[in-house]
Structure 1
Amino acid sequence: MSDVPHSTSATGEAGFGDYVALLKPRVMSLVVFTAFVGLWVAPVPMNPFLAFCAVLFIALGGGASGALNMWYERDIDALMRRTRNRPLPAGLIEPDAALGIGLGLGGFAVMLLGLAANWFAAGFLAFTIFFYAVVYTMWLKRSTPQNIVIGGAAGAFPPMIGWACATGGLGVEPLLMFALTFFWTPPHFWALALFVKDDYSNAGVPMLTVTHGRPAARRQIFAYTLLLVPVALGLGLTSIGGPVYMTVAIVMNALFLRGGWQILRRTDAESEADRHAAERGFFKLSLYYLFAHFLALLVQSGFGGW
């Protein structure tokens, strides 16, 4: 997901919007939504005020991860068209300030989540921040084309954290919510990489499209699309599934399989405009795909958890 454009003051100094952009608000919105769904559909009721606080602190933890990611990646962000206007490469926020915000906000979020919910959930949030900032950002992203596959776990943890806030533990349901997001991440990001390949190549990021080429990326997109189907349908057979969720899952997975098949059939012999149209279409579909599944879980619950 790309980040919202920052807003600058007339003097060229950082404005409020730049500090918001530092926290990757679009990524944070996914964290907030999936964490909220995980908390809501959990079988143990949670006080509404404490639940609101828990989701807020998970969001702040996600923002801390974004700030630490931008602090470390400011060199490669400056080389990519998609990211060169972020606050750090644009010179609007100092690296030390971004690091301080990331560390301070992360510690604050973990501590308060422990007080609002439980320390198991707080420890899980701390591990998620570490995984995204250190394991993915500092190690995997620049060292392996599997960066998105392994690193995608960080973005898949929030529904598990939400569930843990309510229950103090885990179960089959949050593991399948994790798996849904985990297997969705590679086709989502590789579809993006197909039409911004030069960005990753220029920045020296070993994205699959750069190291193995577009045909390999297309095959992997379709393979992960196939893996998604049993996970998505399997979630519908658990205690949080039902007819509403299964209907949405069947429709969305049929569309996603169709889109993955169309991507697989593309070749570099086609015009760039035609390829990019299909790739952008699949990327947009992937955004609706994940949102639709988690929204269906929310609707299926009947908003009766409390």
Structure 2
Amino acid sequence: MSTAEIEARTELQALAGATAEHRISQAEPRDFFALMKPGVMRLVVFTALVGLVSAAATSGTMLLGPATGAIALFCIAIGGGASGALNMWYEADLDRMMKRTANRPIPAGRVSADEALAFGLIMAVLSVMVLGLVSNWFAAGLLAFTIFFYAVVYTIWLKRSTQQNIVIGGAAGALPPVVAWAAMTGSVGIEAFVLFLIIFMWTPPHFWALALFASKDYARAGIPMMPVVSGDAYTRKQILIYAVLLVPVAMAPWFLGFGGLVYGATTAALSLGFVFYAIGVYRDKNTDNSNRAAKRLFAYSILYLFALFGVLLLEAVIKLAL
């Protein structure tokens, strides 16, 4: 190797090192917060809160007071954030290829992969340990399993290997209210399982609607989402099937008695709306490539889940107050 080549390589290495140092120095708290997927965290915190309060109102067992309950909820939130950070760490290569994720902290160069991995692991360990200490180790074990399932089973295995990734992987997103229920009572009853099932059945039509209007992104990254593997028509059919199957599951709290009349009426009305929008997706031929029906269902699905759990929360608070 000539002297000029050696000097050129040295300069490139120095530039790479300086770039890495610059990247690390530019990392801000908001970048680490973004690693935690705050949009998903909101769902985690809210559904866990509903699980926590509903457990107290329904079971009559309260292992946690207001302060320890808040700490338990915070631990579940941090556990969810840890899952998001580990997901972004492992999927940085995919995020770089997708328009909607290219500006995430790692592909954008604001946070290094090593920082994200360390951040996620530290939060995972701390969230599980603190939850075990302030509540019980059964709940802590469920939280550890939730983080493992999302970060390893879903992110590392399912996401890149099967179009059913979101169906099976949806279990991780459905577990926060179960963890909260266990934190409050030390056990898990049929009510907690029903809350799990509502989110579990809601997840596929919610994310498949997103996959329909983001299918080019998924195809570019090589992610086997259902529209990429089986086509739009098959995906639209599956969305409608899951929307119909979701209705009796969503009504289950009323059938079982831990959801009141207001919950029953609200859920019946909103579920009809969900099926209506799913029919719209099924019938939409998307000739103008706008995917308007899928976008409407995606937006409505978020309102739907928050409304259902919001009514459950309100009824539980009223029951505790009486």
**Conserved in 2, the CA contact under 8 Å of 1:37 and 1:294?**
yes
The residue type paired with residue 302 of structure 2 is L
Preserved contact between residue 187 and residue 225 of structure 1 (Cα < 8 Å): yes
CA contact (8 A) 2:23 2:109 kept: no
Structure 1: tracts of 5 or more residues without a match: 1-8
In structure 1, what residue type is equivalent to 2:146?
A: T
For structure 2, the 5+ residue unaligned runs are 1-21
Q: Say which of 132, 136, 148 aligns to 1:118.
A: 136
Question: 1:1-37 CA deviation, whole Å, 9 max, x = no partner?
Answer: xxxxxxxx99981222111101111101100000110
* 4+ runs deviating over 4 angstroms: 9-12
Query: CA–CA distance in 2 between the matches of 1:175 and 1:283?
Result: 24
The one-letter code matched in structure 1 to 2:320 is: G
Q: CA deviation at 1:303?
A: 3.8
**Deviation by residue 1:213-246 (Cα, 9 ceiling, x = unmatched):** 0001000000100110110111212242111110
Given the alignment, which residue of 221, 229, 246 partners 1:228? Answer: 246
Map of 1:134-283 to 2, 5 A cutoff?
134-268=152-286, 270-273=287-290, 276-283=291-298
Q: CA offsets per residue over residues 188-223 of structure 1, 9 Å max, x none?
A: 000001111100000000000000000010000001
1:250-288 residue CA offsets vs partner (Å, 9 max, x unmatched): 1110100101111111124x2223xx2211111000000
1:30 aligns with 2:43: yes
* Structure-1 separation of matches of 2:114 and 2:264: 48
Q: Name which of 44, 49, 72 aligns with 1:54.
A: 72
Distance in 1 between residues matched to 2:93 and 2:288, nearest whole Å: 32
Return the TM-score normalized by structure 1.
0.94
1:93 corresponds, among 108, 111, 117, to: 111
TM-score, normalised relative to structure 2? 0.89
Amino acid corresponding to residue 186 of structure 2 in structure 1: G
> Match of 2:305?
290
In 2, Cα distance between the equivalents of 1:238 and 1:53? 30
1:164-201 CA distances to partner (integer Å, 9 max, x unpaired)? Answer: 01111111111110000000000000000111110000
Residue pair 1:244, 1:299 contacting (<8 A) in 2 also: no
RMSD, aligned CA:
1.5
- Say which one has the larger Rg: 2
Matched-pair contact (CA < 8 Å) for 2:23–2:111: no
Are 2:24 and 2:110, in contact at CA under 8 Å, matched by a contact in 1?
A: no
CA distance in 1, matches of 2:280, 2:230: 20
Q: Which amino acid aligns with 2:41?
A: M
Equivalent-residue separation in structure 1 for 2:175 and 2:318 (angstroms): 22
> Which stretch shows the higher mean deviation, 39-48 or 99-108?
39-48
